[in-house]
Amino acid sequence: MQGLVAEGEETITQGAQKEPLAADLALIAAAQRVEHYEISAYGTARTLARQLGQMDCARLLSHTLGEEESTDFLLTAISDPLIQQAALDDVGANVNLGGMSRGERAQSARSRQSSDSGRSNSGKSDSGREAA
């Protein structure tokens, strides 16, 4: 998990040199790697709890697993229009799916980056989890 958090922090740092759309997609990918790690861990723990007859524990782990899967689903839903926009940009189409101009997206990304760096200084990752 520490490696995934470090990878996410590196993604944030490298995002300053990327186009805002690419930086956003890289951050989503980093967050999804963390979610997939957690989905795997909670799924395994739930299975072990069931095998040990710890049904209350298994139910709680199922709930947490569902939350992680929901987060992964939301991240995918957020990334879909961004991927479509990146594809349109790559072929030179003059279409903006997000309602913001490229300059507005850049300003928005810079604002997010400023607030993210304040949060990372508080010992938490961009997802609000304690850094391990």
CATH of the domain at 34: 1.20.1260.10
- Cα 44-49-52 angle, rounded to 5 deg: 130
Number of domains in the chain: 1
In a domain, 72, yes or no: yes
In a domain, 92, yes or no: yes
Query: Which pLDDT value is given to residue 128?
Result: 44
pTM to 2 decimals?
A: 0.65
In a domain, 130, yes or no: no
pLDDT-based confidence at 89, cuts 50/70/90? confident
Q: Exposed/middle/buried for 8, CB within 10 Å: 0-12, 13-18, 19+? A: buried
In a domain, 34, yes or no: yes
Cβ burial 120-130 (10 Å sphere, 16+ → b, else e): beeeebbeeee
Domain enclosing residue 25, as ranges: 2-120
In a domain, 31, yes or no: yes
